[in-house]
Chain A
């Protein structure tokens, strides 16, 4: 609802704004708006300001340094950026195809009477708090992975190259897998929106030519929903990068990159290392500042991913105007 020029509301608003009561209302609104912008700025400022000591000390080398030692007071972000990337890649490799397939099934291959409640169910399940998912992952999935899944992965040709060594409990693979479970509902819901955005008229034209449902999906719906699907994947990626507490429970607390590289190794992400070390940082100001520096890195990564996703969504909407 927008104020049209010349509409009664606009004229009245113009008149009112010159009266004190109208002016008071406008002031209140503007204050709230500016306050909100101030909050946003404060978030950035608060985190960045606490990190300056570490950045000043280590410089930009902090970003790829693999040191992390509370005794020598040397810190770096390298292993944690790597850990974040690894489990995010695992999660996306699992969640994007399965999520897209699920969304396609619900929108194209399922009568609406069944698809709607299933969709709602998936959305509701997404509301389960991540600490609960993490706890379940720790008590239920970790033993299953140790006993069955990870030995199984070690038998698959080619794949087994990534699963060297002996699994001991927390691992990159386990964390990535549970993370994929957590971002699946997001991927499904956003993909459904993208697929449903393709006009029914296009589908009908394809059916009227004698196409099967799969042909319609492959040749008409998915190409038409291209940018929407990309946006869905990007936003799911954003969620994966930002997820902290469940990952913390499942990934271990290793502060360096173990050789040889294996998905069975424990590791750490930017978020998990902050959570696990924050308590001890009271006496170590450089450590605390380093943790805030890691937070800055996480903030930058999240910002890029999320803004990228939103921009794709905006571009997509412009497509649909004609």
Chain B
């Protein structure tokens, strides 16, 4: 083999059949090129149009809600309780407070449970962990109306409509998002940190608390913010648990108003003033949810930058 290297084979094609085939292929390639290129361009335009079609309705939506909703905002809007149609000066203060309380309680319920379940998934392998992960996946897909009905069945049916039953529903809604996010956040903590902590003789729970959880805080915050963004916007679960109210109330054991309920109830009336309230509430809700999502993503970006 080594001596063959320096013998000079004929520089032109050895086999005339090969040369013929090459001519045929090049002719076909050249001939089809124009058609292939115009098809490729046409597809690019078509798919680009599809992308525009995806964006346009949603951008238009945000624009319309903002335009119509901003007009309803005023100091009174945020500080007064609702007034009947025709009487000026009404607001949605009870709904804003209600949303804050209901979601706040839901967070308080869901965060520790999600964190512990996520820790469980990290520490243990095996069938139970797989069942839980599968269960969390399934739970993500359950429509929120069913979760509201669940809260009704186990709480309201035995008591009465209340704000805390709504919190329970929203907490269940938040759980799978938080569990998955928490688990991912803590998985980015390298093994060495765990082992270093344990090697120093610390108790396992102590290591977890001081080293892992603290290190994963940006990821945990992201998971919680995104879960909150999802829960804040939900309407259906509230309709079966907290049902809304016209008065200002801080009692968690009674029905409480919330922003999505205002949008739903006032938006479907025929009364202009109430409709305006609905649009103002819609703008506040949409802006709030978008803000939470954006902040959540910023934290997530910071987390990936840190681990790189």
Q: Could you tell me which A residues sit within 8 Å of B by CB distance? A: 1-3, 7-9, 12-13, 16, 21-22, 24-25, 28-33, 35-37, 39-40, 42-43, 46-47, 49-50, 97-99, 101-102, 104-106, 109, 118, 120-122, 124-125, 127-133, 135-136, 138, 140, 181, 184-185, 188, 210, 212-215, 217, 235, 238, 241-245, 249, 271, 274-275, 278, 292, 295, 298-299, 302-303, 305-307, 309-310
Q: Do B29 and A12 touch across chains, with their CB atoms under 8 A apart? A: no
In contact, B289 and A128 (Cβ under 8 angstroms) = yes
A37 contacts B135, CB within 8 Å?
A: yes
Could you say which residues of chain A place their CB within 8 Å of the CB of B186? 1
Beyond A13-B204, A36-B113, A215-B40, 7 additional pairs, beta carbon < 8 A: A21-B204, A25-B208, A28-B205, A245-B264, A278-B240, A299-B142, A303-B142
Q: Is the CB of A125 within 8 A of B43?
A: no
Q: Could you say which residues of chain B place their CB within 8 Å of the CB of A138?
A: 267-268
Q: Which 3 A-B pairs have the closest CB atoms?
A: A129-B233, A242-B143, A32-B116
List B contacts of A185 (CB < 8 A).
54, 58
A33 near B132: Cβ-Cβ < 8 Å: yes
CB nearest neighbor in A for B261: A131
A275–B147 Cα gap in the complex (Å)?
Answer: 13
Determine the chain A residues whose CB is within 8 A of the CB of B139 once the complex forms: 40, 43
How near does chain B come to A230, taking the closest CB pair, in angstroms? 16
Q: Are B203 and A21 in contact (CB under 8 A)?
A: yes
In the complex, are the beta carbons of A25 and B138 less than 8 A apart?
no
Docked-complex contact B117 and A32, CB < 8 angstroms: yes
Given contacts A9-B198, A36-B175, A43-B142, contact A21 B205 (CB under 8 A): yes
What CA separation (Å) do A303 and B29 show in the bound complex? Answer: 51
User: Which residues from B are CB-within-8-Å of A303?
Assistant: 138, 141-142
Q: How far apart are the CA atoms of A102 and B44 in the complex, in Å?
A: 10
Q: By the criterion CB–CB under 8 Å, are B40 and A212 in contact? A: yes
Using a CB–CB distance below 8 Å, which chain B residues touch chain A? 29, 36-37, 39-40, 43-44, 46-48, 50-51, 53-55, 57-62, 64-65, 113, 116-117, 119-120, 122-125, 128-129, 131-132, 134-147, 149-150, 153-154, 157, 172, 175, 179, 186-187, 189-191, 194-195, 198-199, 203-205, 208, 229-230, 232-236, 239-240, 260, 263-264, 267-268, 278-279, 282, 285-286, 289-290, 293-294, 297
Closest residue to A126 on the B side, CB-wise?
B58
Q: Which residues of chain A are near B279, meaning CB under 8 Å?
A: 135
Beta-carbon nearest neighbor of A28 in chain B: B116
A20 nearest CB neighbor, chain B only: B203
Contacts of B132 in A (CB 8 A): 33, 36-37
Residues B154 and A271 in contact, CB atoms below 8 Å apart: no
CB-CB nearest in chain B for A41: B135
Given A43-B142, A133-B61, A242-B142: A1 touches B264 (CB 8 Å cut-off): no
Chain B contacts for A210, CB-based, 8 A: 29
CB pair B54 A131 closer than 8 Å:
no
A interface: dominant SS:
helix
Contact in complex: A214, B39 (CB < 8 Å): yes
- Report 14 cross-chain contacts, Cβ distance below 8 Å, ordered by A residue: A1-B191, A22-B203, A36-B179, A40-B139, A98-B50, A118-B55, A125-B59, A129-B234, A129-B260, A132-B286, A238-B141, A242-B141, A275-B236, A295-B146
Q: Which of A25, A124, A302 contacts B293 (CB 8 A)?
A: A124
Provide the residues of chain B in CB contact with A13, threshold 8 Å. Answer: 198, 204
B263 contacts A131, CB within 8 Å?
A: yes
CA distance A43 to B302 in the complex (A): 36
Which of B61, B150, B203 contacts A128 (CB under 8 A)? B61
How distant is the Cα of A63 from the Cα of B199 in the complex, in angstroms? 61
Closest to A22 in B: B204
Kindly report which residue of chain A lies nearest to residue B155, judged by CB atoms.
A46
Task: Name the residue of chain A whose CB is nearest to the CB of B68.
Answer: A139
Q: State the CA gap A131–B239 with chains docked (Å).
A: 12
Choose from B64, B143, B282, B294 the contact partner of A271 (Cβ within 8 Å).
B143
CA distance A138 to B279 in the complex (A): 12
